[in-house]
Structure 1
Amino acid sequence: MTLAAGMSALLMGCSYSGSGDSGSGAAKASAGQGTAAGKKLAALAQKAADQGSLGVIVRVDTGDGKPVEIAKQAAWTKDDHRIAADDRFRVGSNTKTVTATLVLQQVAAGKIGLDDTVEKWLPGVVQGGADITVRMLLNHTSGLGDFLLTPEFLPSLTGQEKRTWTPRELLAITPEQDPPAEPGETYSYSNANYEALGLILEKATGSGLAELIEDKITGPLKMKDSFLATDADWDTGKNSGKQHVTGYEPDAARLKEILSGTVDLPDGVGFAGAERPGDNVDTSAIDPSWSWAAGGMVSTARDWQTFLTALNSGELLPEAQLKQMRTTVDAPEEGGGYGLGLMRVDTACGTVWGHTGGLPGYSSEIYTDASGTRSVAVFTSTNFGIKEKAAATANKALVDAATCTMLGKQIK
């Protein structure tokens, strides 16, 4: 496998499949921890942090008005910040669910058709656009590959090159799937699909994406800590009022070892950032704005659960469009199926709906039950770091337990 393909496969987001304390957010983060389930989750979160997740935020809302909020971290990370349960976080590809919701709102209004071709909206912008529909972009069956797999973009992904990419520039370097597939034939996850959807939204509405998100989603739902990132200019310091979580990735040597079974990573290739303990680097300064409609949002666990709850309970879309959103194609690598910007994940305790997200230094899983009554969010302040065996095992145990708790099932 190529270098870029190996890194991309691990960066897409995680599928369901001395120790520190909660720091300055301790009082707020302890909500709900007095219960047996809360104590168990707190212990699992601390273990995950110590095993390699580094910083962990867990929020479980069973719909009874008493959410469990937990923030745990590895001891050395407290020198950078004291993590709190309401810290802001780069939610990565969870953004796709917001973009899809906006598209489906326009479908309900009769302004966009799911069977409209890409060429109709973006003439000459997407190769093969005359045979690709809006629906295919939404459920990743377009036949497009991903620009993440290109040598042109990889230096920006790792932060080694500082460049501001436009959606059209990213679509211009997007290859076809490997192996090739006809539009509508095969599910293959690609950020390029959602870059195109963002452009279609802007053309259909005459409004910018950030404005649409605020007007249609974050404003009405009072998601005051959620926004579309345009750069990496935020305060991750311990003295800030509303803190943004500091993200970390393994240094070049550790990254090479993590990828050894997937790709032969050349010596010295890794993420840009200040050196930190445990052979890590601080990736907080890497600009995520390239991800835009595919993954550019910053939010909090509470805010994003508010969004997913509103979506899956029918508050944001008419019944017909929500049904379309939940019509899935097989996506076993996602733990079940992929609809229109929404994952169906079949867990040991039941089926959940939501998405995953991954950016350098940030990984997230956020789900609700089918009714949108119950929700869960698990954030970790590393992406590649939780691919190591011990870290992956501890992270999975935490996500499994948090999801079962959300569904009202006993933690095993």
Structure 2
Amino acid sequence: MTALAVIAAPATATAAPMGVDRAGLQRGLDGLVAAGAVGVLAEVRDQDGVWRGASGVAELRTTRPVPVHGRFRAGSITKTFVATVVLQLVSEGRLRLDDTVEAWLPGVVPDGHRITVRHLLNHTSGLYDVVRTLPMPPKQEFLDNRWRTWTAAELVARAVANPATFEPPGSAYAYSNTGYLLLGQIVEEATGRSYKEEINSRLIRPLWLSGTSLPGTSTRIRGPHPHGYVPISQDGELLDYTRMNPSVFGAGGEMISTARDLNRFFAALLGGRLLPGQLLDEMMTPGIDGGLMYGLGLAWWDTSCGIRVYGNDGDAVAYQSWSFSTQDRRHQVTVALTPNFRADLDDAVDAFLDEAVCT
């Protein structure tokens, strides 16, 4: 049997209040598995209560179900946590959105005197994305780096050895993980503590996000979790990549979390519990004109029924996740999956998100 042979497992779900039809949500999760997910879990919150469901398997070659409360690598959803901490520091007067990189990190970035904290937050810095300098599966070099510890300084140096994506800063949008590595360093300069300590003390502990952690160099996902995989050959053979050194993600994407915790975080953020209204408005302001739906570490999109949702998505190679909420928090949805890389799952995910918000 190949690693791609997923053994069917019973779908699992937490019952919704009596009279509420959640069959469409479960069908959506089952559809994601049929489209190319090894396993998937979700939590949906709305006026009818909380629904949790799962489909597929937690581990290939088993029938073990995906734990509905399971932990997963949240990827770039980490960026919204980092951005929230940065904006809290702005509200405290400890740094400013118009402060330059050069002022906080002298000599680290070419032309750092022209790149501001705001540019880093909304991906308008023009800095080359460090991800483009790293090997990806199925390359052997990617596997060789599995246990390697990376420093933010090392990753930033790889990125800035390449020319800017555009000039001048602030004139265009280009997603760049490099900017968030720099923000992690700026938080440390502004507070004397690491971004991990600041996220823990300002967000994780006050919000009781018991399933959320910043693992640093720890290779494990503690507690119940689905296994994640990467392709290691052109014919789609999969390798269990659950354990790996997440320092390569750093402040751009190292977080481990749960669907419950992410819904809880975005409810607090959009409910005004974490930032003053003016800075939350800044977070929801596009970095450039022209319909871009990304602000200061926060993304948004309009569902098929015209309802706008705010949040972020994350890709941690072996794990993919999405967490979005309406501004009034009446509809929230978080979904995480482990792909088998046979197909693009974006359309199936969009359909599930629409089902969660529009019905």
Q: TM-score, normalised by structure 2?
A: 0.89
**Residue from 199, 208, 216 that aligns with 1:222:** 208
**Residue from 107, 111, 122 that aligns with 2:90:** 107
Letter matched to residue 278 of structure 2: A
Structure 2 residue aligned with 1:306: 264
* Correspondence 1:86 to 2:69: yes
Counterpart mapping for 1:295-334 below 5 A: 295-329=253-287
Q: Does the residue aligned with 1:214 lie in a helix, a strand or coil? A: helix
Q: Does the residue aligned with 2:170 lie in a helix, a strand or coil? A: coil
How far did residue 194 of structure 1 move? 0.3
Please give the per-residue CA displacement for 1:123-157, whole angstroms capped at 9, x wherever unaligned: 01122211100000000000101111115798798
How far did residue 75 of structure 1 move? 8.8
Letter matched to residue 340 of structure 1: L
Where does the alignment leave 5 or more consecutive residues of structure 1 unmatched? Answer: 1-17, 237-241, 256-278
Where does the alignment leave 5 or more consecutive residues of structure 2 unmatched? Answer: 1-6
* Correspondence 1:48 to 2:5: no
Structure 2 residue aligned with 1:366: 323
Structure 1 residue aligned with 2:155: 170
- From the superposition, tell whether residues 153 and 74 of structure 1 become closer, same or farther in structure 2 (CA, over 3 Å): closer
- From the superposition, tell whether residues 151 and 57 of structure 1 become closer, same or farther in structure 2 (CA, over 3 Å): closer
- From the superposition, tell whether residues 220 and 127 of structure 1 become closer, same or farther in structure 2 (CA, over 3 Å): same
* Correspondence 1:21 to 2:10: yes
Contact (CA 8 Å) 1:228, 1:296: kept in 2 or not? yes
- From the superposition, tell whether residues 303 and 75 of structure 1 become closer, same or farther in structure 2 (CA, over 3 Å): closer
Moved more, 43-52 or 296-305: 43-52
How far did residue 359 of structure 1 move? 1.0
Contact (CA 8 Å) 2:69, 2:259: kept in 1 or not? yes
Contact (CA 8 Å) 1:20, 1:46: kept in 2 or not? no
Contact (CA 8 Å) 1:187, 1:330: kept in 2 or not? yes
**Residue from 276, 282, 298 that aligns with 1:342:** 298
Structure 2 residue aligned with 1:251: 232
Please give the per-residue CA displacement for 1:21-42, whole angstroms capped at 9, x wherever unaligned: 24xxx4xx32328766411111
Identity of paired residues, percent?
A: 35
Structure 2 residue aligned with 1:397: 351
Contact (CA 8 Å) 2:71, 2:221: kept in 1 or not? no
State the aligned residue count: 349
Letter matched to residue 289 of structure 1: S
- From the superposition, tell whether residues 151 and 83 of structure 1 become closer, same or farther in structure 2 (CA, over 3 Å): closer
In the alignment, the residues of structure 1 paired with residue 158 and residue 134 of structure 2 have an alpha-carbon distance, to the nearest angstrom, of 10
Q: TM-score, normalised by structure 1?
A: 0.78
- From the superposition, tell whether residues 151 and 158 of structure 1 become closer, same or farther in structure 2 (CA, over 3 Å): closer
Counterpart mapping for 1:139-178 below 5 A: 139-150=122-133, 158-161=142-145, 162-175=147-160, 176=162
Contact (CA 8 Å) 2:323, 2:333: kept in 1 or not? yes
- From the superposition, tell whether residues 197 and 216 of structure 1 become closer, same or farther in structure 2 (CA, over 3 Å): same
* Correspondence 1:201 to 2:191: no
In the alignment, the residues of structure 1 paired with residue 327 and residue 22 of structure 2 have an alpha-carbon distance, to the nearest angstrom, of 23
Contact (CA 8 Å) 1:234, 1:244: kept in 2 or not? no
How far did residue 202 of structure 1 move? 0.8
In the alignment, the residues of structure 2 paired with residue 129 and residue 325 of structure 1 have an alpha-carbon distance, to the nearest angstrom, of 22
How far did residue 159 of structure 1 move? 3.1
How far did residue 163 of structure 1 move? 1.8
- From the superposition, tell whether residues 199 and 115 of structure 1 become closer, same or farther in structure 2 (CA, over 3 Å): same
Letter matched to residue 250 of structure 1: P
How far did residue 80 of structure 1 move? 7.7
